[in-house]
Structure 1
Amino acid sequence: MNRAASAKGQAQAGVLLPALPDDLRKQEPHATVVEGQPLISILARERQALDRANSRQQRTVEFYDDIQTRLGAR
């Protein structure tokens, strides 16, 4: 009976998830547009910003997948 009560208590306790790293909450700003600046340089900076955002999104996926793996092992 004690084992059943213990199992029930653990099931009701739920799961305590780790904190999401601050980096994964960051929003990537657009490249600033400076009048007279060549459009190609603005495009290049915008693409760099997109690369950073995509890298951050990939780290989010890996973080989530790691949590799923750990919880699935229980």
Structure 2
Amino acid sequence: MQHAATAKGQTQAGAVLPPLPDDLRKQEPHAPIVEGQPLISVVARERQALNRANDRQKRTVEFYDDIQKRLGAR
């Protein structure tokens, strides 16, 4: 009940959140497996995809933390 009251109060306060950057909604596809290519190249491309996904996740956390900081300063 406390949580619901808090949510209702925040809604009534009229806090307008900024739009989420488009790239933070993006899903990173797996690296394609091409017949005849060495498996190490697939692993290398998969690691690059994972690095991009991790970087995007980091930006998401920073974006959220910034919003929390700004709303907490009210």
SS of 1:16 mapped into structure 2: coil
- Matched with 2:26 is 26
Give ranges in structure 1 of 5+ residues lacking alignment. Answer: 1-9
The 4+ residue runs of structure 1 with deviation greater than 4 A are: none
Report deviation, 1:15: 1.5
Number of the residue aligned with 1:46: 46
Q: How well do the aligned residues superpose, as a CA RMSD in angstroms?
A: 1.6
User: Which of these two proteins has the greater Rg computed from alpha carbons?
Assistant: 1
Structure 2's unaligned 5+ residue stretches are 1-9
Q: Residue 40 of structure 1 aligns to which amino acid in structure 2?
A: I
Give the 5 Å matches for 1:1-74. 12-74=12-74
TM-score (norm 2): 0.82
**How big is each residue's C-alpha offset from its partner over 1:14-45, in whole Å with a ceiling of 9 and x where there is no partner?**
31110000010011010010001000000000
Tell me the TM-score normalised to structure 1 length: 0.82
